[in-house]
Every structure is written in C-alpha cells, then in structure tokens.
Amino acid sequence: MEENYIVSARKYRPSTFSSVVGQKALTATLRNAIATNRLAHAYLFCGSRGVGKTSCARIFAKTINCEHPTPEGDPCNECSSCRQFNENRSLNILELDAASNNSVNDIRELTDQVLVPPTEGRYRVFIIDEVHMLSQAAFNAFLKTLEEPPSYVVFILATTEKHKIIPTILSRCQIYDFSRITIADIIDHLQYVASQEGITAERAALNVIAQKADGAMRDALSIFDQVAASSRGNITYQSTIDNLNVLDERYYSRLLEAFRSGNVPQALMVYKDVREHGFDSHFFVNGLAQYLRDLMVARDPATLPLLDADDSVKELMAKQGAEMQPEFFYAAMSLCNDADLAYRQASNKTFLVELLLIKLCQLCGPSHGYSGDGEGRKLQKIEPVAPAASVATAPAPAVAREPAKTGAEPALGTAQAQPKPPMVQGYKTPHVASLRASEPNAASAAARRSTRGHVSMASAMQPKAVEERASVASAAPVNRSAFTPEQVLDLWERYMAANPKAHLLVNTMRAHQPRPAGDAENPELYVVTVVNPGQVELLSQEKPVLLPAFRRVLCNDYFDFRIEVDENAAAPTAWSDRDVLNHMVEQSPHLAQFIADFKLTLS
C-alpha cells in the first residue's frame, strides 16, 4: 500500500533549531537560554505568517524537556520525551488555538491544567497560537496566571498581530520578533527540498516562487508543491510563470528599452500584449513601479542591499539600472505613483495606463533628449518654444511692443505687490483646465485651493519643477502683446467655469467684472469694483493664482487688475419674510396661484 502524500510544508517542517531557516540570531538566543538554564516563564513570538513562530515554539518546548540535548542545543529526538512529542502523545506540551478557544471559560480550563505538575520531564509547556484573538475578558483572566505561574510551567504565545495584544500581557513576556525570510534563503531551502524529492528545478523558477511567497517559507513550500505537480517534477521558469499567472519581468525589460529610445508604439504594443495575456492593468502599473524601484536601488552599490533578490538577479538588475540616469527613475516612479492613485477614479483605465507609458517614453525621448550613451547620458534642458499669439476665440493681437519706459516696469496700481511670475512658453490654444496657474509659493497655493475646494488647472501648462520654471523664465523674453477687453471678459468667464464648486468666488466674479482702468501710461491695468471688504479679501486671496493665468493666456506680462470698494454702493438691507415672498411671486407668477389654491399663509 502506498504511503499517503504529505505536503512539503508539513514534511519539511523544522524539528531542530539547526533546521530553522532564516532566523539564525533568534534561534541562537534560544539555544543560549537553554544551555545556561536561564528560562523565562513566558515568551511571545511575533512575526508574519510562515516564518517559523510555532515551529520554534515546538522545538523550544521539546528541547527544554529533552533528556540528552546535543552540544549544539538541539533535541536529541531519541529520548522518551522527544519520541512522545514526535508521536503527538506528550502530556507535557499542550497547544491551544486561541482563534477558536478565545473565551473566558477556555482560559479557566487552561489555568486548571497549569496546576497539574508534569508526570515526567521538567516542564509543562503551553503553546497558545494566535493569542491576539483572545477576548478582552479572556486576557484579563489570564493575567495573574501568566505573571506568576508554577515553577514547572512555561508559556509560549505566538501571534501575527502584536499590536492587538494588551500592554499588560506584553509586559509579562520576553518578546521575540521573527523577521521575514529572505529570497536567497527561500531559494536555497527550495533547492534542498527539490533535491530530496528528486525534482529538477531552475533557479530562476525558484526565484519566482520565492518572490510570490513574500517572505513566508510555508507559502513558498505550498507554491513549490503546486508548480511541481503541474510540471510533473520538472520546474522550469516558463512553467512557473504560466502556472502562477505571474507577469514576466521580460515585459518590463522590453518596456525599459522602449523608454530609453522614446519608442511610444513599442511601449503601447507591450502593454497590449500584457492585456491579451489576461493581466490586470492596475497590477501591471504596480509591477512596473516596483521594477523601476528595484532598478534604481540596484544601480548604486550603496543601495544594492535594499534589493531583496538572489545574487544573480542583483547582478543583472545592477547592469540594467546603470544604463539609465537616477533622474529618470525619480520621475518615472513619481508618474507611476500618480497613475496608481488615479486608477480607481479613472473612467477609461486603459487610456490612463497608455498615457503613463507615453509620458515615460517622453522622459528619454527626443523631446527631453539624452546626450551620449551609457553612463554619460544626461537629461537635456527643454528649450523654450515661442508663445502663440492669442486666445483661439479672439482676433489675432498686434505684434508685441516694447515697454514704454526703458529699464523699469510701469506702475500697476495697488495690486502690484506680488512679483511677476515666470511665463510658461509653448502655449497655443487656451483650455479651461489650463487657466489656473501655479503660484511661486506652491505650498500656500495648495492650502488656499484646499480651503476653497478649487480644482487645479495648472497640470497642462506647468513645468515639472521650480528649477525648470526658473530656467525657462530666465531664457524667455518679456511679453507685451495687445489684447482687448472682450478677451479679458472671456477669460474671466472661463475661470468661473473652471471652478464650479467655489460658489462664493464664482458669485463674486459674476457680479463684478473687470473693466479698463483708463490709465494712459498703463493700458494693461484693469479695475474690479466690489461692494464690501469681504469681497476684496476673497479676490485678493485668489489673485496670486488668477493673475499669472491671465498673463500667460494673454501673452502679456504687464496685465494687472486692482480691487476697489464702491463707496457709493447702497448698504445691504435685510429682507423680511414678506419681502422674500413678494420677490418670489414677482419672479414666478404661478406661485401666487399656488398659494391661493392651497390657502397658504405666513406663520
């Protein structure tokens, strides 16, 4: 009769401290505690799933009761106590699953068993797994016993969520934090298991399994069994990625080549191939971001230890990362992060990802430019483009003229407190989303926008950094193109349309429109006349954002407006309920008939 199949996670579960993978420092500490007979009455083993917490608890419990431990501090597995434990019939070692035994009555039964001394051996060990699942009342019932147990009792608590355990329990335990198992350790252990099982496995395939396991050896062994069953004992790289539905890194390598050459069609075709193989676009974006991050840390020997991978993979990624400049990775990761944040809200998710790939290609493409090859390649500065003449809907303005006064700018009225922001070159056709300009002080602008609930409209026209804005501004000539009052009013309306949620601002702008100030020396100066100081403050707060947008679209660095209060405006009066009703009836005659039909009156 054939023996029943045992999964690798159980068959190769560690039985000695020497066989525990990836926890050398922790197991050495436990060995020393046993060798010097310095045992605590309570231990807490913390860590993520599959890192060896319960296995180490069992080995520790077996070792302290072993009659003939080895010189290395491991159990002999031959004495009566070890054999009883290995055969699951030891009365000195008890395990409790707190996930299903988390009530006060379960803890009371446990405390009753604590009073029973061991029939053979020196200690009775109680292993409580998933201890964070105990109820608050159960924790409180357990406190006294945990603090002062009998001398022959040792408690070992295990949990994946230490933050859920109350502080009074933590203070009574020695705490051991188990680390995630590295990819190199997982690969080495999987190779050992494969050799024991007579399975051939490519190291690249085991690397994929190790990455999929995410630091958990139990998960790695389970995945290993799955792939081994599908490949009939011959684990190859291709069979592994097919079985696990893993996005092959060769896709990312092809994308990186497209980014280097600025080849947008190639990048889009790679993405099409990814979608045709059934991979989720959001998963693809996150995988691309992780791949770019790994290349960035691999290119510099100082940050290479941050890459959790096999040595051969580290060497390959270091070579690939060295082909690109750090500035590319910084900008590319930022774009991937923005796409990740916008993915859930995007109505056309495929278009969002394609736009991301286009932007990544442009980082190294002809528009941004690289000079030289390999390590000598550096990002070139974008040359400014001559601005367009005017708004698309307005007549073509006159040719830009020089300022009236040489060497000094004309006075711009009371509103000339802000420094002139730099002009952004290359503007062609104005768009509603581009009317909002960024302020020199980005932090204060963001604060004002969040306060009023405005939407940002600067993304289509702004450079990506303050340094680029400064460099473009230093190279740009002074603009003073002619414009008409109709163009100003048109932009005023566009700005209101672009901020529909800023009700107070929109109502103020709709009621008070700019008009020429009539200053012969400064024809670009306009006046906005309001009726109260509150409106002055509101428009003054918006002016640092609104003014640069107007200057940009009008191609005139001297356009300005000042805000004045109309001293002759009638003071606002409060309406009574009757006044409000009369006004509503005037606006809607049908309302009077409705009131008469239902015989409504003011209360």
Q: Domain 8-177 belongs to what topology?
A: Rossmann fold (3.40.50)
pLDDT for the residue 292 = 92
Q: Is 198 helix (H, G, I), strand (E, B) or coil?
A: coil
Band (pLDDT 50/70/90 cuts) for residue 370 is very low
The angle, 0 to 180 degrees and rounded to 10, between the axes of the packed helices 237-244 and 217-230 is 110
Question: Would you say domain 249-379 falls under CATH 1.20.272.10?
Answer: yes
Question: Edge-to-edge strand order for the sheet containing 515-516?
Answer: 515-516, 525-530, 560-565
- H or E stretch including 234? strand 234-235
The domain spans of the chain are: 8-177, 183-244, 249-379, 432-565, 574-603
421 in Cβ contact with 548 (< 8 Å): yes
CATH architecture of 183-244: Orthogonal Bundle (1.10)
Report DSSP letters for 128-158, one per residue.
EETGGGS-HHHHHHHHHHHHS--TTEEEEEE
Q: Enter the tokens of residue 342.
A: 């916008």
Residues 6 or more apart whose CB falls under 8 angstroms from that of 306 comprise 297
Band (pLDDT 50/70/90 cuts) for residue 3 is low
pLDDT for the residue 358 = 92
Mean pLDDT, the chain, rounded, equals: 78
| φ, ψ (nearest 5 deg) of residue 125 | -110, 130
CA distance 559 to 555: 9
Band (pLDDT 50/70/90 cuts) for residue 233 is confident
Question: Edge-to-edge strand order for the sheet containing 124-129?
Answer: 93-97, 124-129, 153-159, 42-46, 174-177
Lowest mean pLDDT among 19-33, 243-257, 316-330, 576-590: 576-590
Domains 8-177 and 183-244 equal at CATH topology level: no
HEC readout, 62-117 = HHHCCCCCCCCCCCCCCCHHHHHHHCCCCCCEEEEECCCCCCHHHHHHHHHHHCCC
Lowest mean pLDDT among 151-155, 281-285, 355-359, 578-582: 578-582
CA distance 164 to 139: 11
pLDDT for the residue 571 = 55
Scored b (16 or more CB within 10 A) or e, 16-54 reads bbebbbbbeebbeebbebbeeeeeebbbbbbbbebbbbb
| Residues in a beta bridge with 378 | 371
Average pLDDT over residues 554-573: 79
pLDDT for the residue 145 = 87
CA distance 592 to 599: 10
Res. 6: pLDDT tops 90: no
CA distance 99 to 104: 13
Mean pLDDT: which of 212-221, 428-437, 452-461 is highest?
A: 212-221
Band (pLDDT 50/70/90 cuts) for residue 317 is confident
